[in-house]
Amino acid sequence: MNDKLIIVSTRLPVSVSKVDGKLRYESSAGGLSTAIDSLKKSADSVWVGWPGIASDDLTPKEKTEITTELQKRGCYPVFLNNNEINKFYSGYSNSTLWPLFHYFPKEAQYDSSYWDMYQDVNMQFARAALKFATANAKIWVHDYQLMLVPKMLRDINKDLTIGFFLHTPFPASEVFRLIPEREALLEGVLGASLIGFHTYDYVHYFLASTLKILGYENTLGTVRLDNRLVQTDAFPIGIDYKKYAKGSYNRKVSSIQRTFDLFRAKTQVILSVDRADYTKGIPERLDAFELFLDRHPDFLRRAVLVIVAVPSRGDVNAYKELRATIEQKVSRINGRFSTIDWSPITYRYQPLPFDELCALYARADVMLVTPLRDGMNLVAKEYVAARHSHNGVLILSDMAGAAIELTDALLVNPNNTSQVADAIYEGLTMRETDQRKRMRKMQARVSQYTIEKWAQDFVKELSDSVKKRDTNAKWLNQQQERVLLDDYKKSSRRLILLDYDGTLKNFADSPDADRSEPSIKLKKLLKTLTQDKQNKIIIISGRKRTTLHKYFRNKDIGLIAEHGGWVYDDGQWTKFNQNTSDWKKKVKPILKEFVARTPGAVLEEKDFSFAWHYRQVQPNLAYVRKEALKTKLRGALGTDDIGVYEGQKIIEVKSKRMNKGVAVAGLAAKNQWDFILAIGDDYTDEDMFLAMPTDAYTINVGTDHTNARYQIRSVDDVLELLRLLI
């Protein structure tokens, strides 16, 4: 059977309304629904979303009717009431996130009741999606309104396959970090296994934010969380090419064009089509057109600007103001340049039927697409598809994601009025051969990477990300765990080696001993394990012996401190290391200098080693400093027997001969054990794993490449395994 595909987006592709007390269903054949239709061939799918009507207006019976009717169309409704629509949709989504994601911090409203509702509604969507989440299902969550859904789903079922796609820009981290709930939003999205954006710039900004705000590093776009990998990538959305290519020359379209030409024969048409949104740069576009007319009055009566602004988000104040601004400008320009039988701007504040839109695309000599910011911008691509005559000029803002692909457009900075005015002139006067050359190149691109390709690509990458996750890791499965427990039970001379930080205890912000004390529960657990006289438990850590001693006063627990520098057995500490005074003198000033210059860095001096901790350093700075520090330390140490190592947010300097492998090799080799278990998470534990006999149970905690036989995901899973031993 095919895997199930669950699409989750705020709006469903079907809108429900009530006319004269009767429910009416209207399919909006948007690009995404076309793409999903194409995926349906290979997957059984369901679309979860809001049907566009407030639930306050519906009786329980009507809700049931809607659910049944939508089911027939492959949809499942999430009902929202007026208060939810107001605070979640108009509020947090469109008055907080939308302006910030488009670099309009001044328009952004911060209201905690919006945020509360955003969380509530995201949870409703997650729950609705879960109803369909069979074991192999893929869940694809869309856009900025639902950023918390991936994590909400993951928290409920950690094995789900979840993808997330953002249709807007992802802003630079300096803007993103203005959002009060920035951490929760990033964590929310990181619940997915694959996160898609329109361009690499947005991927890059997202990764920069996760690094700066959450401290999560990435390797070539893959974010390594403690227990999962999250892949990020660019998937530039396409359009249903054939629909616009065909749509521009059917009979109805031709007749619309003839009517249009009755009024505008021999006139060049400049076209502008957008949702009336302040991000689309409509007032700025009007200014540029006015400047163009000022500079080239010979174009009066020879060129007209047709502006289609589709009403949008009328409940939000900024949108009401925008309408007033546009209308003032249109009327001023028309007032300045109109004659009794001609005016330079035709303005429409209403949506156009599809055929009329196509007729205009096909008729427009110049298409003016100059958003101040735009995730992609589909209008630009639709114009290209509709040009079956292969001529026409696209003027495109380089602030739109589409500019990365459509480099044969006349690219402009929408804030540069003079440049846009010049581009209008250049477009209207461009030679036909140049127009065709540019247009054909753009058509080749847009016809290749269509909306179907985009969706198929994303879903395939999502499946692959799961396969990679499963093949890369050596997760200890239930059957292997049963064998381990069985071997444990059957054995009577057991050696259990346990690393501390990152294995028995989650990392604290600072290396201070007080911050990482074992909990009473953990102490009890270890005590119970040691009470079984068939067990030899040893905590093996890079920490100082004084710290380990403070943590574990139980004489029956063996301790190995400083990666083997000190060993505690039978109530006695033994020192296993050589003189360190020479090399320590050399490197200490360097380490101190790097602490002074790096806010948040901490130097820990131990008997046989140094640790330079950078967990609390601002991540970008940490990256630069740690690389510089390693180079400087290695230079100072020369070919000494002393090594510089990188661990979990730590640079360590210690003898190359002092490591956990050396520390336990002798012990493990003693022929006295019939069961060995070694668990650790850091590079130093890899030495320990390598020193173990092949039949030992070696377990790495986390997602790193490892020499251990098995991996488990988290400290909690380690503790659970130890509990099972008991």
Could you say whether residue 382 binds ligand GDG (CB under 6 A)?
Answer: yes
Burial of 155: CB neighbours in 10 Å, binned 0-12, 13-18, 19+: exposed
Could you say whether residue 682 binds ligand GDG (CB under 6 A)?
Answer: no
CB 128, CB 1: distance < 8 Å: no
Residues 203-242 that bind ligand GDG (CB under 6 A): 237
Could you say whether residue 7 binds ligand GDG (CB under 6 A)?
Answer: no
- Nearest-angstrom CA–CA distance, 311 and 320: 10
The C-alpha angle 303, 325, 330, rounded to 5 degrees, equals 20
Q: To the nearest whole angstrom, how small is the minimum distance from the Cβ of residue 510 to ligand GDG?
A: 43
Nearest partner of 600 among 615, 583, 578, 584, judged by Cα: 615
Q: To the nearest whole angstrom, how small is the minimum distance from the Cβ of residue 8 to ligand GDG?
A: 15
Which of 129, 195, 376, 663 binds ligand GDG (CB under 6 A)? It is 376
- Nearest-angstrom CA–CA distance, 647 and 682: 6
Which of 104, 110, 249, 354 binds ligand GDG (CB under 6 A)? It is 354
Q: To the nearest whole angstrom, how small is the minimum distance from the Cβ of residue 403 to ligand GDG?
A: 12
Could you say whether residue 562 binds ligand GDG (CB under 6 A)?
Answer: no
Stretch that binds ligand GDG, among 21-29, 122-130, 209-217, 348-356 (CB under 6 A): 348-356
What are the distances in angstroms from CA 445 to CA 375, 406, 438?
18, 8, 11
Residues in CB range of 599: below 8 A, 6 or more apart: 617, 618, 621
Could you say whether residue 525 binds ligand GDG (CB under 6 A)?
Answer: no
CB 438, CB 380: distance < 8 Å: no
Could you say whether residue 142 binds ligand GDG (CB under 6 A)?
Answer: no
Q: What's the chain's length in residues?
A: 726
CB 132, CB 6: distance < 8 Å: yes
State whether residue 614 is helix, strand or coil.
coil
Q: To the nearest whole angstrom, how small is the minimum distance from the Cβ of residue 632 to ligand GDG?
A: 46
Closest CB to ligand GDG among residues 351, 647: 351
β-pair partners for 675? 494
Q: To the nearest whole angstrom, how small is the minimum distance from the Cβ of residue 239 to ligand GDG?
A: 7
Closest CB to ligand GDG among residues 275, 468: 275
Q: To the nearest whole angstrom, how small is the minimum distance from the Cβ of residue 217 to ligand GDG?
A: 29
Stretch that binds ligand GDG, among 72-80, 144-152, 346-354, 521-529 (CB under 6 A): 346-354
Q: To the nearest whole angstrom, how small is the minimum distance from the Cβ of residue 354 to ligand GDG?
A: 4
Could you say whether residue 96 binds ligand GDG (CB under 6 A)?
Answer: no
Give Cα 349 to chain centroid, integer Å.
35
**Catalytic residue, candidates 499, 501, 681, 687:** 499
Residues 356-375 that bind ligand GDG (CB under 6 A): 357, 374-375
Could you say whether residue 399 binds ligand GDG (CB under 6 A)?
Answer: no
Which of 8, 100, 366, 379 binds ligand GDG (CB under 6 A)? It is 379
Could you say whether residue 54 binds ligand GDG (CB under 6 A)?
Answer: no
Nearest partner of 630 among 613, 642, 644, judged by Cα: 644
Stretch that binds ligand GDG, among 228-236, 352-360, 597-605, 675-683 (CB under 6 A): 352-360
Neighbour count for residue 450 (Cβ, 10 Å):
23
- Nearest-angstrom CA–CA distance, 420 and 412: 6
Residues 491-520 that bind ligand GDG (CB under 6 A): none
Could you say whether residue 405 binds ligand GDG (CB under 6 A)?
Answer: no
Could you say whether residue 352 binds ligand GDG (CB under 6 A)?
Answer: yes
Q: To the nearest whole angstrom, how small is the minimum distance from the Cβ of residue 337 to ligand GDG?
A: 25
Could you say whether residue 11 binds ligand GDG (CB under 6 A)?
Answer: no
Neighbour count for residue 116 (Cβ, 10 Å):
14
Closest CB to ligand GDG among residues 313, 505: 313
Closest CB to ligand GDG among residues 223, 378: 378
Residues 250-309 that bind ligand GDG (CB under 6 A): 273, 275, 308
Residues 157-176 that bind ligand GDG (CB under 6 A): 167-168
Could you say whether residue 452 binds ligand GDG (CB under 6 A)?
Answer: no
Closest CB to ligand GDG among residues 253, 676: 253
Q: Is 499 in the active site?
A: yes
CB 697, CB 498: distance < 8 Å: no
Q: Output the six-digit token pair for 613.
A: 């901790």
Nearest partner of 224 among 472, 498, 481, judged by Cα: 472
State whether residue 222 is helix, strand or coil.
strand
Q: Is 21 left (phi over 0), alpha (psi -120 to 50) or beta?
A: left
HSE-CB for 496 with a 13 A CA cutoff = 23
β-pair partners for 647? 650
Closest CB to ligand GDG among residues 358, 498: 358
- Nearest-angstrom CA–CA distance, 680 and 274: 56
Sheet holding 345-348, edge to edge: 345-348, 303-310, 268-275, 366-369, 393-397, 410-412
Closest CB to ligand GDG among residues 200, 354: 354
Compute how many residues bind ligand GDG; rule: CB under 6 A.
Answer: 18
E strand residue ranges, 42-137: 44-50, 75-77
* Contact footprint for ligand GDG (CB under 6 A): 167-168, 237, 273, 275, 308, 310, 351-352, 354, 357, 374-379, 382
| Positions marked active-site | 499
